[in-house]
Amino acid sequence: MEEKFSSLSDLGEFGLIEHLCRDFPLRQASSIKGIGDDAAILEFLSGRTVVSTDMLVEGVHFDLSYAPPQHLGYKAVAVNLSDIYAMNARPTQITVSIAVSNRFGIEYLDKIYEGIRHACEVFEVDLVGGDTTSSYSGLIISVTAIGTADEDQIVERSGAKENDLLVLSGDIGGAYMGLQVLEREKTVFQSNPDEQPDLSEYKYPIERQLKPEARKDIPELLEKLGVKPTAMIDVSDGLSSEALHISKSSNLGVRIYEEKIPIDPSVYKLCEEFKLSATTIALNGGEDYELLFTMPLEDHDKIKANPHLTVIGHMTEAAQGNMLVARDGAEVPLQAQGWNAMRDINKEV
């Protein structure tokens, strides 16, 4: 039986916005006026304001055949807030704009906004605006995140110094391998719709793909430890790409040690199952949304043995280049082979 849903046109644009954005309380003192007027009103009495925008496009960034709408809403917020944390700032507000076709009903959008609402609660940010419009090419979600930081606490990509340690939060490679599992099971399901996949043993990598977490805890942890990063970036496009961004912006070289890259055991197991190199996946997979940062060598003892942080390399003079030091000691030039948002720009649609 075909599932019935409520038509979006029945509500109209303003009715839809009012419907979707109900029950979003304002938590931040800087949010003076949220949704309900021509523009939000924010008041920042001190420090610097940082702003970041990301867009998620159906068929490019997500596949609705296996991406639950609640997770999609949560992810759209989390990946934007990750950029704010990467500036060593604290997110305070977001705006959400959605372009949607008539194949979606109000009930489906409600589930997306359920995920957005949960993210607002977890990360303590206010939804203060956005837009809805029609789409002829699938679902598009665009989120703008706003945050604040004291001027002397903001961390850019360009501040790394020679001999600084290169440090990574958490572990990487899981999101890419989760995507491989989902794509494989989608193919199996399309061949045999009666066969229900058992994904229980792949819970960790699948969750890393469908519901990534922005590392809100890392700037807080570093402040508590008395460590201020000299440069920082989030790992959205792959470890190699992000390390190269820091080295280029800071006019330095970088050394990453293969044996130091943190990879979860379940990801190693999956790489063996798919006959893929775990190191290659960690370097180029992307979408892990961990934080990669540099810090002074003299602060090493402050983070030593911390389970959330791993020293994976160090910065060098630019003339030494950007290298991966393999387990056998061989040096391999780092290449940016991760996610490229414009890679398929000329593909026919």
> Does 343 map to a domain?
no
The pLDDT value recorded for residue 346 is 44
Q: What is the dihedral of CA 145, 309, 156, 235, to 10 degrees?
A: -60
The pLDDT value recorded for residue 189 is 77
Does 206 lie in the same domain as 114? no
Does 99 lie in the same domain as 22? yes
Question: Which residue, 125, 153, 181, sits at the end of a domain?
Answer: 153
| pTM of the full structure | 0.89
Does 54 lie in the same domain as 106? yes
312-349 core/surface letters (b: 16 or more CB in 10 A; e: else): bbbbbeeeeebbbbeeeeeeeebebebbeeeeeeeeee
Does 191 lie in the same domain as 86? no
Chain centroid to CA 269: how far? Answer: 24
Distance (Å, whole) CA 139 – CA 292:
31
> Does 339 map to a domain?
no
Does 257 lie in the same domain as 114? no
Distance (Å, whole) CA 155 – CA 305:
24
> Does 268 map to a domain?
yes
Q: Range of 265's domain?
A: 157-333
Does 127 lie in the same domain as 21? yes
Does 273 lie in the same domain as 142? no
Distance (Å, whole) CA 209 – CA 75:
9
Question: Which residue, 112, 129, 153, sits at the end of a domain?
Answer: 153
Helix (H) or strand (E) holding 231: strand 231-234
**Structural domain total, the chain:** 2
Question: Which residue, 103, 137, 153, sits at the end of a domain?
Answer: 153
The pLDDT value recorded for residue 2 is 46
Does 171 lie in the same domain as 129? no
- Phi, psi of 213, rounded to the nearest 5 degrees: -110, 130
- Residue 162 has a CB neighbour count (10 Å cut-off) of 15
Does 122 lie in the same domain as 108? yes
In contact, 46 and 152? CB cutoff 8 Å: no
Distance (Å, whole) CA 108 – CA 129:
20
> Does 275 map to a domain?
yes
In contact, 247 and 322? CB cutoff 8 Å: yes
The pLDDT value recorded for residue 193 is 74
Does 316 lie in the same domain as 211? yes
The pLDDT value recorded for residue 85 is 98
Q: Looking at residue 105, which CATH number applies to its domain?
A: 3.30.1330.10
> Does 340 map to a domain?
no
* Burial environment of residue 295 by CB neighbours within 10 A (0 to 12, 13 to 18, 19 or more): buried
How far, CA to CA in Å, does 210 sit from each of 19, 117, 145? 26, 17, 20
Chain centroid to CA 35: how far? Answer: 25
With CA atoms as reference, report the closest residue to 204 among 259, 258, 268.
268
The pLDDT value recorded for residue 341 is 45
In contact, 209 and 266? CB cutoff 8 Å: no
DSSP letter for 38, please. S
Q: Looking at residue 168, which CATH number applies to its domain?
A: 3.90.650.10
Q: What is the dihedral of CA 25, 28, 29, 31, to 10 degrees?
A: -70
pLDDT in single tens digits along all 349 residues of the chain: 345 555 555 555 556 666 666 777 888 888 888 877 778 888 888 899 999 999 999 988 999 999 999 999 999 999 999 999 999 999 999 999 999 888 888 899 999 999 999 999 999 999 998 888 888 878 999 999 999 999 999 999 999 999 999 999 999 999 999 999 999 988 887 777 777 777 788 999 999 999 999 999 999 999 999 999 999 999 999 999 999 999 999 999 999 999 999 999 999 999 999 999 999 999 999 899 999 999 999 999 999 989 999 999 999 999 999 999 999 999 999 998 754 543 444 443 3
> Does 134 map to a domain?
yes
Does 188 lie in the same domain as 327? yes
> Does 346 map to a domain?
no
> Does 3 map to a domain?
no
User: Residue 227 is which amino acid?
Assistant: V
How far, CA to CA in Å, does 270 sit from each of 147, 201, 239, 278, 335? 37, 10, 19, 9, 24
User: Pairing mode, if any, of strands 322-325 and 252-257?
Assistant: parallel
DSSP string of 85-148, one letter each residue: HHTT-EEEEEEEEEEE-TTS-HHHHHHHHHHHHHHHHHHT-EEEEEEEEE-SSS-EEEEEEEEE
Does 247 lie in the same domain as 131? no
DSSP string of 163-222, one letter each residue: T-EEEEES--SHHHHHHHHHHHHHHHHHH-TT-----GGGHHHHHHHHS----THHHHHH
The pLDDT value recorded for residue 37 is 74
The pLDDT value recorded for residue 34 is 82
In the numeric block, the tokens 């820091």 are attached to 246
